[in-house]
Structure 1
């Protein structure tokens, strides 16, 4: 289709990447977000090779390499520091053809905003849309209206559009754990250089992975009832209690983190759902498949969505709705499987069935490293850019 006007709702990873891809295709693109200031949710993201390949394909390979961390190995340790498994990631990188790049979310969003050749319209909350035979109009709370050939709803796990696409509400589900995350200066006392260090025990997890600018992205997971009543001034005491007796690097991490810059998130996922598209409107990213972060694939799946959607719009010429249905068919199979697998992984790690988690701890001790990298490679190579 030669010339299209695309309206994108949501200026997160998926919306911005879709905007970049569609502008490169020569389409007119408008991006809107309800927030007045772009502030990414969460401090970091483990961008695995399938997501990085999309950015490479869009000409952003040097930019992502500059802000990403060099991650060459993974180590699993018990809560007291016993080494359970050490995994060299170089065979994985050789197999899939691209290294992963853990990255600070703010750095990634800043990179994508800079790469989008147009304005991102902030403080525009989309409240409705009207579809007609030849196009669609987005309607905003502030009275603004804009019309185009299609709308991409990249408005997150609490999407305003999903109910209209599905004709029923589908709400996010609590995954069973609270996640504290942020950034700290890299230090060998916390974790070896270029290594993703993970401590596990008591159905909890403490993790550090390298990101750009000599920093580490950390997260600490604890299975708890969902609540949002804690405030930053209580985070350190809360974490000290939850991780009492854990190894010294975990204690140092809790001492060094900045509570004011630490996110405390009740982890939810959403789906799998059986429809991503209705007419000229398509869900993208977390709006279609909100994913537990336990596979590190949430952002990657949004990047894959953006790539696949832009390709169908470019490569097929029956109609916009036809291209969107083809996008839906391909992405539903791929992303829904990732949602289910990530939920299963979250339950395994966080003690939904304590026997299953205990068996996983035992498995970590005995599992050949190549089994771990093969499982990661299988997920990566399921994407559109193999």
Structure 2
């Protein structure tokens, strides 16, 4: 297809990855974001092998490996610290052909910004789009208009443009739990430096995984009715109460976290929705398929979206609309399945049905480690890059 001009709304992981991919494919790209300053949502993210393969395809493999943590094992432990399962991740790497890398979101965002040749236009709140036979224009609150051959709506879980594509509003759905996350220095009295350690019990989780800079990315999950969340207060006090009596490493983690840099997030998801494209406008990433983070696939699916969309724009010469329809046909079933699987996983972990969660605890103690890695591999290998 001839050189196109692409307007991207949103400079998160999906929007930036799309900007890099489309620019390197030879297209003219403009990226806009409503915020005054780019600040990542969350402390870190686990980029599984399917996402890393997309970054590899963009020539960013060396860069992402330098900001990623080396994660060789997973450990599940009870709230008392007893080992439930130790999982070697090398069989996963051998099966899928690529290591995963947990990365700090600030580092990942910085890497993608460095790779994008243009300037992200901040403080630009998109309020709508207008299509013609020959193009599409994104309109902004300040009166600016950006016209291109297509618009990519990568504007997140609370997307402004999702209603335009669908024809009706879709509100994010509360996932049933609150997540606290941040970064702390790696220390052997918390967990081994190459291990993703996960403590489970009482339908809660406490977790640490390594990222670059000799740091652990940590998170805590607590199921909670949404109407109770306004009662949350001081982060350390709340976590100390929620995880009272849990194992020593969990107590030390609560003591060492910095409340000022710890995020508290009410988990929401979006979808499955029935379409991702309307005319010259395509939804990408969380605007189309925000997931509960329990599969670690949210960012990876946005990266896959960016890769597939770029490939169809490069290889389809019928029309922009045809390329976008092919993108939707390729991505819709996979992303809907991931949303549903992540929601089901969130419910299993966080006690929506207490008996199911207790059965999962029992399963953790008895299943073969390769059953775990085989399940992760199946999700990874369902993507566009084998």
1:128 CA drift (Å): 1.0
- 2: CA distance, partners of 1:371 / 1:172: 32
The equivalent residue for 1:44 is 44
Equivalent residue runs for 1:12-31 within 5 Å: 12-31=12-31
- 1: CA distance, partners of 2:301 / 2:15: 12
Equivalent residue runs for 1:289-328 within 5 Å: 289-328=289-328
- 1: CA distance, partners of 2:334 / 2:2: 28
- 3-state SS of paired residue (2:337): helix
Q: Alpha-carbon deviations, 1:54-97, whole Å to 9, x = none?
A: 00000000000000000000000000001000000001001100
The equivalent residue for 2:134 is 134
- 1: CA distance, partners of 2:256 / 2:146: 47
1:228 CA drift (Å): 5.5
Matched, 1:145 2:145: yes
- 2: CA distance, partners of 1:273 / 1:229: 29
1:7 CA drift (Å): 0.1
The equivalent residue for 1:241 is 241
* Unaligned residue ranges in structure 1 (runs of 5+): none
Q: Alpha-carbon deviations, 1:212-255, whole Å to 9, x = none?
A: 01000000000012266467x70000000000010000000000
Equivalent residue runs for 1:106-145 within 5 Å: 106-145=106-145
Equivalent residue runs for 1:301-380 within 5 Å: 301-380=301-380
- 3-state SS of paired residue (2:29): strand
- 1: CA distance, partners of 2:70 / 2:153: 33
Q: TM-score, normalised on structure 2?
A: 0.99
Q: Alpha-carbon deviations, 1:146-170, whole Å to 9, x = none?
A: 1100000000000001111111111
- 2: CA distance, partners of 1:383 / 1:230: 41
Number of residue-to-residue matches in the alignment: 385
Q: Alpha-carbon deviations, 1:263-301, whole Å to 9, x = none?
A: 000000010001000000000000000100000000000
Matched, 1:288 2:288: yes
1:4 CA drift (Å): 0.2
- 2: CA distance, partners of 1:269 / 1:244: 29
- 3-state SS of paired residue (1:121): coil
Q: TM-score, normalised on structure 1?
A: 0.99
- 3-state SS of paired residue (2:178): strand
The equivalent residue for 1:34 is 34
The equivalent residue for 1:104 is 104
Matched, 1:199 2:199: yes
The list of structure 1 runs, each at least 4 consecutive aligned residues, that deviate by more than 6 angstroms after superposition, is none
1:2 CA drift (Å): 1.5
- 1: CA distance, partners of 2:355 / 2:204: 14
1:100 CA drift (Å): 0.3
- 1: CA distance, partners of 2:96 / 2:142: 46
The equivalent residue for 2:172 is 172
